[in-house]
Amino acid sequence: MPSPLLAPLFGSPAMEAVWSDAATVAAMLAVEEALAAAEAEAGVVPAAASAAIAAVVARRGIDIEALADAAGMAGNTAIPLVKALTAEVRAADAEAAKWVHYGATSQDVMDTGLVLQLRSAFRLIEVDLARAMAAAAALAQAHRDTPMAGRTWLQQALPITFGLKMAGTLDALMRHRDRLAEARPRILALQFGGAAGTLASLGATGPEVARLLAARLDLSLPETPWHGQRDRILEAASLMAGLVASAAKVARDVALMMQTEVGEVLEPAAPGRGGSSTMPHKRNPALSATILGAAGLAPQLLATIAAGGAGEHERAAGGWQSEWLALPELARLTGGVMARLAELLEGLEVKPERMRANLGATGGLLMAEAVQMALAPALGRLAAHDRIEAACRKAVGEGRDLLDVLAEDGEITAHAPRDRLAELLDPAGYLGSAGFFVDRVLARYRAV
């Protein structure tokens, strides 16, 4: 369960509020109130009873501690909540108490309440996602042509631009935004099926009550009740886990680029952030570490929810219950991760001079492919590859710059004299379509 000590580190105040016990109870009460109103509109429940139920819900008088104690015996939170609500309504209007929770089952109230909480969570996530996209776009634009070493297998590979790295981040975040928008109507759907998904207790009025209830809660009306089909919850969890994974990709790169020997970026500075309890000089990647810590938990939470999808018949024993813990925790982590990602990108300090210096760290080896491709038309691609590879091994073995080694090879200089080789070994001249890709991503971002 959430720790008050760690919640400010891994979560966000707004997301914690969405998944607090009080918010969970409020969401279920909102479902009960809307149910009574929908049934009154359909002529199932007296209008006076609906008004009495709404008045009790508005007082927010449910004792959460007593509810928690009772839930342990009942097996879920909805059963004692309905009993407590019925008792409160009875105290005000005995006749109205007959109509509390009419025709519904516990899972209707809990699942639909959960969907209402997911809607609030998505709104918060989308706010921080928009912040992160705007910050990534600004960095991509500002550093469109800032060269740096691209790295594969943690080794320098070819020159890229920092703008391209940020454009890739922006591109991924925009895809997450699109997924969220496309999945919203599917995920944010009413769950209302009664005891076994037939709404038999409401007779012929069941579908009409469901339609009215969905409208009152501003939720999609599904084709069938989904007590036993947990794909909506799994999709929500997958979306959140995907956001965490993409944020962790950024955090991992930032942490690596902040290494003392690399020094290409710095996380935003703030009093008390990233320091050491014993080393005054340290500036640790604290935001990145928090994101990565959450990313270590998200896959397991997603797996728990996925495993719950294999529930038994019309009502699962165990899989559904595991969602009560896993999904809110995943949402909390996602909220914290997205808030920190936005903060990280908005305040990221970029060091172009260190990027330029690191491009020269290999003495020209980084640009071996450029020389190979320039010689390929004359020597053939494979022959050029083998000749340049041999020159690279010699440069490394003798601790020399690649340019000097290449300039000693008469067959190479016959096709590319030293001045031409120097041009080929300039990282700024081998950036390919990096600028084009940045511009294309930024154009899509601006368009939407």
* Domain shared by 371 and 328, yes or no: no
What confidence score (pLDDT) does residue 314 get?
Answer: 82
Give the tens place of pLDDT for each residue, 74-94: 889 999 999 999 999 999 999
- Rounded mean pLDDT of 370-392? 93
Measured at the alpha carbon of residue 336, what is the angle toward residues 331 and 337, in degrees to the nearest 5? Answer: 95
pLDDT at 110: 95
What pLDDT is recorded for position 389?
Answer: 95
pTM for the whole structure = 0.92
* CATH number, domain containing residue 42: 1.20.200.10
pLDDT greater at residue 197 or residue 280? 197
CA angle 374, 376, 378 (to 5 degrees): 100
Assess whether 327 and 409 both reside in one domain.
no
pLDDT classification of 73: cutoffs 50, 70, 90: confident
Average pLDDT over residues 306-327: 88
Residue 275 has pLDDT above 60, yes or no: no
Say how far apart CA 413 and CA 420 lie, in whole Å.
Answer: 9
Q: Is residue 57 included in any domain, yes or no?
A: yes
Average pLDDT over residues 418-431: 94
User: Do the domain assignments include residue 183?
Assistant: yes
**What is the token pair recorded at 12?**
């966000």
For residue 272, pLDDT beyond 80: no
Residue ending a domain, among 331, 353, 375, is 353
Same domain flag for 342 and 372: no
Task: Among 293, 320, 353, give the residue marking a domain's end.
Answer: 353
Query: Which of residues 94 and 309 earns the better pLDDT score?
Result: 94
CATH code (residue 430): 1.10.40.30
143-181 pLDDT, tens per residue?
Answer: 999 999 999 999 999 999 999 999 999 999 999 999 999
The whole-chain average pLDDT of the chain stands at: 93
CA neighbor of 78 nearest in space, from 110, 104, 103, 101: 110
Rounded CA separation 174/441 (Å): 9
Nearest to 170 by CA among 204, 149, 195, 141: 141
* 225, 249: one domain: yes
Q: Classify residue 1: in a domain, yes or no.
A: no
Neighbour-count burial for 350-364, b at 16+ CB within 10 Å, e otherwise: bbeebbbebbeebbb
8 A C-beta contact, residue 434 and residue 159: no
Q: Euclidean distance between the first and final Cα of the chain, in Å?
A: 39
Per-residue pLDDT, 60: 84
- Residue 335 forms part of a structural domain: yes
Is the pLDDT at 279 greater than 90? The verdict is no
* Confidence check: pLDDT of 42 > 80: yes
Whether residues 132 and 245 fall in one domain: yes
Picking from 285, 319, 353, the residue at the C-terminal end of a domain is 353
Res 71: pLDDT: 86
Are 284 and 409 part of one and the same domain? Answer: no
Q: Which two tokens stand for residue 384?
A: 């050029």
**In a shared domain, residues 245 and 324:** yes
Same domain, 210 and 252: yes
Residues 128 and 260 in one domain: yes
Closest C-alpha to 93, from 64, 131, 147, 55? 55
The answer to whether residue 281 scores a pLDDT higher than 70 is: no
pLDDT at 95: 95
Residue tagged 């516990």 (tokens) = 106
The percent of residues above 70 in pLDDT, for the chain, comes to 97
Say if residues 384 and 369 touch (Cβ distance below 8 Å). Answer: no
Look at 94 and 5; give whichever has higher pLDDT: 94
Total of domains in the chain:
2
Give a yes or no: residue 93 inside a domain. yes
CA distance 402 to 422: 10
Domain-located, residue 358: no
Q: Please tell me the predicted confidence (pLDDT) of residue 273.
A: 59
Q: What is the mean pLDDT of residues 369-392?
A: 93
Residue among 247, 277, 283 at smallest CA distance from 263 = 283
Q: What's the CA gap between 162 and 174, in Å, rounded?
A: 18
Q: Are residues 255 and 197 in the same domain?
A: yes
Domain hosting 204: range is 6-353
Q: Is residue 282 scored above 80 in pLDDT?
A: no
Considering only CA atoms, which of 301, 334, 428, 421 is closest in space to residue 372?
421
Please report whether residue 38 resides in a domain: yes
One domain, residues 34 and 153? yes
Whether 259 and 394 share a structural domain: no
- HEC string of the chain equals CCCCCCHHHHCCHHHHHHCCHHHHHHHHHHHHHHHHHHHHHCCCCCHHHHHHHHHHHHHCCCCHHHHHHHHHHHCCCHHHHHHHHHHHHHHHCHHHHCCCCCCCCHHHHHHHHHHHHHHHHHHHHHHHHHHHHHHHHHHHHHCCCCEEEEEECCEEEEEEEHHHHHHHHHHHHHHHHHHHHHHHHHHCECCCCCCCCCCHHHHHHHHHHHHHHHHHHCCECCCCCCCCCCHHHHHHHHHHHHHHHHHHHHHHHHHHHCCCCCCCEECCCCCCCCCCCCCCCCCCCHHHHHHHHHHHHHHHHHHHHHHCCCCCCCCCCCHHHHHHHHHHHHHHHHHHHHHHHHHHHHCCEECHHHHHHHHCCCCCHHHHHHHHHHHHHHHCHHHHHHHHHHHHHHHHHHCCCHHHHHHCCHHHHCCCCHHHHHHHCCHHHCCCCHHHHHHHHHHHHHHC
Average pLDDT over residues 276-283: 59
Which pLDDT belongs to residue 317? 84
Q: Residue 315: which pLDDT band, with cuts at 50, 70 and 90?
A: confident
The residues, ordered by sequence, that sit 6+ positions from 30 with a Cβ below 8 Å of its Cβ are: 57, 113, 116, 217
Residue 295 lies in a domain: yes
Active site members: 276, 315
